[in-house]
Amino acid sequence: MNFDVYAAVLVLLMALVTWLLRFMPFFIFGKSTPPYIVYLGKVLPSAIIGMLVIYCLKDVDMTAAPFGLPECMAVGSVVVLQYWKRNSLISILFGTVLYMALIRLW
């Protein structure tokens, strides 16, 4: 197998950008951080997580059987479990196992 240059470039970019994000504040902001940046820091995380949930479900076909039912039920179980137990690991494990079982049933 040839070395996958495309994948290597993407991995390298992801690593570099991640490093940049982690190190930049230490170089740029000494003690004063602009209020707008602080504001974005507060509100972006939950918005982006919402976006990522949609991103994960982007290819679900609601117009053909099983009409996205396995995804809906599994996501539903994660949300309910998280509300109930507040333990991400249990929610993730249960949701994934349920999904893997459901797609074998349909």
Partner 1 sequence: MKNRVAFVIKQAFYKSIPVLAGYIILGIGFGILLQNAGYGVLWAFAMSCFIYAGSMQYVGVSLITGGASVITTVLTTIMVNARHLFYSISMIERYKDTGKYKPYLIFALTDETYSLLCDGQVPDKKYGDLYRFFVSLFNQCYWVTGSVIGSLLGSVLPFSTDGIEFSMTALFAASFTEQWICGKNHIPALTGLVCSLLCLVVFGSEHFLIPAMLLITATLTVLQRQILSGEEETE
The nearest distance, CB 42 to partner 1, in angstroms, is: 8
- Round to whole Å and give the CA distance between 13 and 40: 23
Look up residue 33 and give its DSSP letter. Answer: -
Count interface residues toward partner 1 (CB under 8 A). 65
Q: Are the beta carbons of 97 and 61 closer than 8 angstroms?
A: no
Site string for partner 1, 49-88 (x = CB under 8 A): xxxxxxxxxxx-----------x--xx--xx--xx--x-x
User: How far is the C-alpha of 72 from the C-alpha of 66, rounded, in Å?
Assistant: 11
Among positions 43, 64, 65, 105, the unique one binding partner 1 when judged by CB under 8 A: 43
d(Cα 71, Cα 50) in Å, to the nearest integer? 16
Contact 96, 88 (CB under 8 A): no
Contact positions vs partner 1 (CB under 8 A): 4, 6-7, 9-11, 13-15, 17-19, 21-26, 29-31, 33, 36-59, 71, 74-75, 78-79, 82-83, 86, 88-89, 91-93, 95-96, 99-100, 103-104
